[in-house]
Amino acid sequence: MADLSINLAGIKSPNPFWLASAPPANTGAQVMRAFDAGWGGAVWKTLGEPIVNVSSRFGGIDVGQQRLMGLNNIELITDRPLDVNLAEIKEVKQRYPNHAVVVSLMVETKAQWKEIIEKVEETGCDGLELNFGCPHGMCERGMGSAVGQEPEVLTEITKWAKEYAKTPVLVKLTPSITDILDTGLAGVKGGADGLSLINTIKSIMGVDLDKFVPYPYVDGKSTNGGYCGPAVKPIALQMVGALAREKAIGIPISGIGGISNWRDAAEFIALGATSVQVCTAVMHYGYRIVEDMIEGLNNYLDEKGMKSVNELRGKAVPNYVEWNELNMNYKVVAAIDSDKCISCQLCLVACYDGAHQCIHRTTDCFDGSHQNAERTNGSRVPFVDEYECIGCNLCALVCPVPGCITMKELDSGKPYQTWPEYQQEMAK
């Protein structure tokens, strides 16, 4: 079996799977149960000045039969006493010395940062995570995403933390920013030892059309909250990859956002993450999902001949480029397997109404120039006019039968040509 152990900025854990700073990492009893289940680390639910939460706190979005495709929360940082949290953190670290225990923090003034860092590090924790991403409640108090959206402020507070911290400092970034590089580089400038992202996205999940109140309902009112779950994974992957490919970043990344299984985790690691943090999937299915995540990642690494998860890290980063670096001469077209086709016609409708009108019924009339025009034997299997197909993938994406529609490569006979090169050629 491959070695899954990692070292993120000096924070070691037996595997890359960490609980994110959220309800699943709210108490010592929870974190210990998670470690017993197989989790390699945990980022403790954010500590700070005492707060009071509201009821209710969560809202969800379902897609088809998939429950909680997206989860929204208006819960704030921990509402448990600081001394209780500190005692539990200390106990967890003493009982699980080989697991990563990182503590998320959020306070306001420099003096408060000094005080809480000193208290937290006395527990023996492995590192700190600065919560610069919470999009609700705390940002109205000048913390959370209010810091994460201001690079200069983020840099300054990171410097405060580094001034007092003896353990590694991770900066947790908000996705509510125009360019994640701005705040990522701000964290580097402040001396951060690592970056974690993404935090939740400011959102409203829906509106009760009888009561005319957004969800979740709080005595006739509501507010925007933080959006997470499988639906945010594409956003998180892009931001993790954008930081990983930037040479000026140069510090490790903990990836967060919609990770639900080993494949999700592997994708984040391939795009540069050292550890991955999980929240919504645990809230949905419980701690034991990590068993399948560990087994799946191990099997994948074995199949690829990788001896360590560290060999996977960043494998996809060189292939994440800007649009104008793509090959303009690459060509794929759709191919329909008639043996697998169930004649639902979804591909035809999607292509005609939403794409480039290159999929046709076999009974459609064409002139003799179309290679498939003779297919008028009563079959309802659509066919592709390869000359007109631009390889957009839409038909393959809407097809309900796995493997029925694939995209096959066509040799254009032309060399790799980027957009700038194409422009130069056209200008001649």
CB 281, CB 22: distance < 8 Å: no
Interior/surface letters 408-420, b for 16+ CB within 10 angstroms, e for the rest = eeeeeeeeebbee
Residue type, 338: S
Strand partners, 132: 173
Determine the 3-state secondary structure of 88 from DSSP: helix
How distant, in Å, are the alpha carbons of 177, 245, 268, 314 from that of 322?
A: 19, 11, 19, 17
Peptide bond connecting 216 to the previous residue in cis, omega within 30 degrees of 0? yes
User: Which residues are CB-contacts of 133 (< 8 A; sequence separation ≥ 6)?
Assistant: 144, 145, 148, 172, 173, 174, 175, 176, 197, 198, 199, 200
Q: Which residues participate in catalysis according to the annotation? A: 134
User: Which residues are CB-contacts of 115 (< 8 A; sequence separation ≥ 6)?
Assistant: none
How distant, in Å, are the alpha carbons of 133, 289, 425 from that of 163?
A: 21, 38, 55
Which has the closest alpha carbon to 77: 158, 142, 137, 28?
137
Interior/surface letters 355-386, b for 16+ CB within 10 angstroms, e for the rest = beebbbbbeeeeeeebeebebeeeeebbbbbb
Q: Where are the beta strands (DSSP E) in 199-291?
A: 201-203, 207-208, 213-214, 225-228, 253-256, 275-278
What's the rounded Cα separation, in Å, for the pair 362 and 365?
8
Which residue blocks in 190-288 are alpha helix, DSSP H? 233-244, 262-270, 280-285
**Token pair recorded at residue 381:** 């299997």
Which has the closest alpha carbon to 109: 149, 161, 165, 52?
161
What's the rounded Cα separation, in Å, for the pair 27 and 415?
58
